[in-house]
A and B are shown apart, each in its own frame.
Chain A
């Protein structure tokens, strides 16, 4: 079972310098700004404890500004005494980013802003300086890896069949803000063109690993990962290279076209915000087969049977599985939703 309607928790990691984030229990909608903050430059360190004449651990008691607050030049950071006051002031405009255990203040100039949008309709269940979690109900489809920032938009079809490759020519600015469904493969050209046209995200059976490297850099791995920078968002559903989608995966995507959806990159899932009754059933999905040279993944279709211990071209002996396209090792056949 791949498509599932139910409750999911989605975690949103936050960069350093959050200035606003929701409180637990707050209702959010996918696409809403969940948290925002500032990018920070090189900070200035101001000795606090020594200047106001207290122990480092006690600076908190005499501090006038909370960590995270904006300051202007001359803003009093901490102050002691009344008639003969001793104070420490901010030398520059910026944000108080940190107060050390020794009582020093770190003030960094603000160089930009960032914001993180929700990837789920639901309620905030956890909110701290580093992440915000949202729990909600939606249709979900797990993929094996996603890349880029979270994407939110309307689902749109970019191919005519689940075995088609998304042609760059099918992508234009009219698809701006959508999550585009590719078929078996989305090449790097289609990814970069879609990004240039403002497409929010791409979903397909597979993407070429070399293409992902071109787009996301040499550090990219098969497990994907979120980025905060402005990059394309890609969700690979079954593998790398080429991965024709099973009908049981593709037809619901067709049915969901026009619905609001989100790609949550950290968990590699596609969420579709549609009623539970939008799909007739949660039908079984065929197993997947890994190609003998590891070059691609395909659905296991047609008649199959066990062949017993078989010697393969690599001289490996292993239990075999006869398929329409030849005998494959049994371990190279996995259920669609197997942990991998």
Chain B
């Protein structure tokens, strides 16, 4: 067997974990770089011919508690570190928390953290932080295994914290208020999550390397991943810098119940384009959460997954807001969607999840992954990077081959008499007023101008054409079903029609 250019085919395997099964990609690992050949969904324990398959997994669930002084910058830095690590923030305890010592200790025991991150910015704040560490000892030191403590910040204060955490395993890491501190904590947390699966690539690592690969072409890139059990938003720059928010458990599948706990039942229900009562919706959410890789056979089940994806993404942005990185993660000139959100049969569903979930204010060209191919390439890149190699020259061409634009999304706040011009031609038809949401059929490179506004942007459109979004931010979703349902249906229909007319 030979490859496309007559070179021998070196078959490799990349297993991208879904919820219970895996998406198995067969890869030609020959020169100059890897190419994806075919994929299938198989059981996780299905044997493979590859003696060293590359496995992409979610990793172990890591519970992190944060002990913080009350200053907002410190808390934001700690939140950023946890978001970058892919761990679950189970408790954030501030030194000015009004609870008593015993209540703090009880809260820490109930939270059952695997890892505790403590940060002191200024030496004068050390006393409060020491009290929190003492509460941690009182609550968790008797547990087996006891949580590990990661201490950062002012050197003398960090040593005081280390001393007060006697009996617990303590590590000193760089200050998470600096970039290297976040990287160090994320790396440490990932080692925990990887556990004994040495060589496995975590899904969030693959997403970060995918973003880097895309950005290596010279454009800021955003990768949005909503999967069954986790939700991530990663922004990469051409210089290789990455800002990321990975939240787990939160998603549209096995973490559906957690999405409802975080977003509220009404938060999820508002995205469903027909009337449904809360108890019925909750029943479906719970059954979906306990059925890995369930397929929505009926439209109502699909609508539930779309609604969950909306809220999961919106919630990650809210978490990023609390960490002070939401503006970075909201928009980039190029947005790639992966995971469950990318796998909806209708492209309109994918586009709406991203447009509404991110609530971006800037234009972007939207792409979507098919069958976890881009995630598999991200994992290949992550493995190469872990081995000390730059994966861009070898893997980026295959990423570029697989990237096909879905739509060019242009959010706008129109003036009273704004007109839409595409490639220099006036577009008549849809009225461009506040609240407008429609798609203009178009394919390929596009130059969009909206008169009376500052919108003069270029991007690339695809099957969904150019999406003009003048609904405003935050999205004005009516609370009453009688108004909300027609609004949601109109938004879905606007994009569905575009997809249908594109064939």
Contacts and interface: CB of A to CB of B under 8 A. Distances in A.
B172 interface: no
A331 to B, nearest CB: 5
Contact of A101 (B21, B134, B282, B296): B134
Interface in A273-329: 290-297, 312-318, 328-329
Contacts of A239: 286-287, 290
A296 B102 contact: no
A213 B282 contact: yes
A108 B292 CA distance: 46
Interface string A75-114: 0000000000000000000000110111000101000000
A239 to B, nearest CB: 5
Given A106-B101, A219-B261, A221-B257, A296 B287 contact: yes
Nearest to A111: B102
27 contacts: A15-B109, A97-B138, A98-B138, A101-B134, A106-B134, A108-B102, A126-B144, A129-B143, A131-B143, A144-B290, A208-B279, A210-B280, A240-B290, A292-B296, A294-B283, A294-B291, A295-B283, A295-B284, A295-B287, A313-B297, A313-B298, A314-B301, A315-B299, A315-B346, A334-B291, A340-B20, A340-B291
Contacts of A40: 102
Identify the interface centre among A42, A131, A222: most chain B CB within 10 Å of its CB. A222
A290 B287 contact: yes
Contacts of A108: 101-102
Interface string B278-311: 1110111111111111111111111010000000
B293 A331 contact: yes
The interface centre, meaning the residue of A45, A130, A131, A317 with most chain B CB atoms within 10 A of its CB, is: A130
Interface string B127-152: 00010001001111111100000000
Contacts of A318: 295
B301 A210 contact: no
A293 B284 contact: yes
B299 A313 contact: yes
A41 interface: yes
Contact of A316 (B130, B139, B297): B297
Given A210-B279, A312-B296, 8 more contacts: A16-B102, A57-B166, A98-B105, A98-B134, A221-B257, A314-B297, A316-B295, A332-B297
Most buried by B among A102, A211, A240, A297: A240
A16 B109 contact: yes
Contacts of B278: 210
A189 interface: no
A222 B164 CA distance: 38
Contacts of A328: 297
Nearest to A130: B143
| Nearest 7 CB-CB pairings of A with B | A129-B142, A210-B279, A292-B297, A329-B295, A42-B100, A294-B284, A130-B143
Given A130-B109, A339-B20, A208 B289 contact: no
Given A129-B143, A130-B140, A316-B345, A296 B283 contact: yes
B257 A222 contact: yes
Interface residues of B, number: 54
Contacts of B282: 209-210, 213
B283 A106 contact: no
Contacts of B301: 292-294, 314
Contacts of B292: 339-340
Contacts of B295: 312, 316, 318, 329, 331-332
B285 A128 contact: no
B79 interface: no
A296 B278 CA distance: 15
A218 B261 contact: yes
Interface string B95-109: 000001111011001
Interface of A is mostly: loop
B163 interface: yes
A340 B109 contact: no
A101 B283 CA distance: 49
A45 B127 CA distance: 14
Question: B137, B142, B290, B292 — which one has the most chain A CB atoms within 10 A of its CB?
Answer: B290
B202 to A, nearest CB: 21
B9 to A, nearest CB: 28
A261 B302 CA distance: 40
Contacts of B304: 294
A216 to B, nearest CB: 12
A145 interface: yes
Chain B interface secondary structure, helix, strand, loop or mixed? helix
Contacts of A168: none
Q: Which one of B101, B109, B142, B286 has the highest number of Cβ atoms from chain A below 10 Å of its Cβ?
A: B286
B279 A222 contact: no
A221 B300 contact: no
A241 interface: yes
A312 B143 CA distance: 49
A44 to B, nearest CB: 9
A80 B8 CA distance: 82
Nearest to A243: B287
Interface string A1-17: 00000000000000110
Contact of A222 (B106, B134, B142, B285): B285
Nearest to A313: B298
A52 to B, nearest CB: 19
Nearest to B100: A42
Given A102-B164, A209-B285, A314 B302 contact: yes
Contacts of B280: 210, 295
B258 interface: yes
Interface centre among A45, A129, A221, A328 (most CB of B within 10 A): A221
A258 interface: no
Contacts of B290: 144-145, 222-223, 239-240, 340
A312 B297 contact: yes
Nearest to A104: B134
Interface in A202-238: 208-211, 213, 218-219, 221-223
Interface string B151-172: 0000000000001111000000
B296 A16 contact: no
Given A209-B282, A209-B283, A290 B257 contact: no
A239 B138 CA distance: 38
Contacts of A339: 20, 292
Contacts of A313: 297-299
A293 B291 contact: no
A130 B142 contact: yes
A31 interface: no
B139 to A, nearest CB: 6
A43 interface: yes
A131 B143 CA distance: 7
B144 A221 contact: no
B281 to A, nearest CB: 9
B142 A128 contact: yes
Contact of B101 (A43, A290, A314, A329): A43
Interface string A154-184: 0000000000000000000000000000000
B90 to A, nearest CB: 12
Contacts of A291: 287
A224 to B, nearest CB: 10
